[in-house]
Amino acid sequence: MAELSKYQQKIVKNYYDNLDTALLQRLGEQVTDLYLAAGKKREKLWASIVASLGKLGVPESRIAHLTAKDDARLLATLLQELLAKD
């Protein structure tokens, strides 16, 4: 594997420094999509949401509760909590 230039190292560092912000923004978009989704699209969206929540460090018990309820409002409430912490 080739060594990264200083410019490339800076890009990678900035990506990981801002990863939480990007994940929160994506989660906000997913909440909006969840309100409109139905059927298989909704199931796929929940799988993506679960992955995002895991990367954000949300406890598994809370993720399981959200998926069991399948309620976009609960997810929006969690997003507000996460944004308040950030």
What was the pLDDT predicted at 1?
A: 58
The CA distance from 10 to 5, in Å, is: 9
Instruction: Specify whether the CB–CB gap between 75 and 66 falls below 8 A.
Output: yes
What was the pLDDT predicted at 37?
A: 87
What was the pLDDT predicted at 85?
A: 83
Instruction: For residue 23, give every residue at least 6 positions away whose Cβ sits within 8 Å of its Cβ, in sequence order, or none.
Output: 52, 55, 56
Per-residue pLDDT of the chain (86 residues; tens, 9 = 90+): 579 899 999 999 999 999 889 999 999 999 999 989 888 999 999 999 999 999 999 999 999 999 999 889 999 999 999 899 86
Question: Is 61 exposed, middle or buried (CB count within 10 Å of its CB: 0-12, 13-18, 19+)?
Answer: exposed
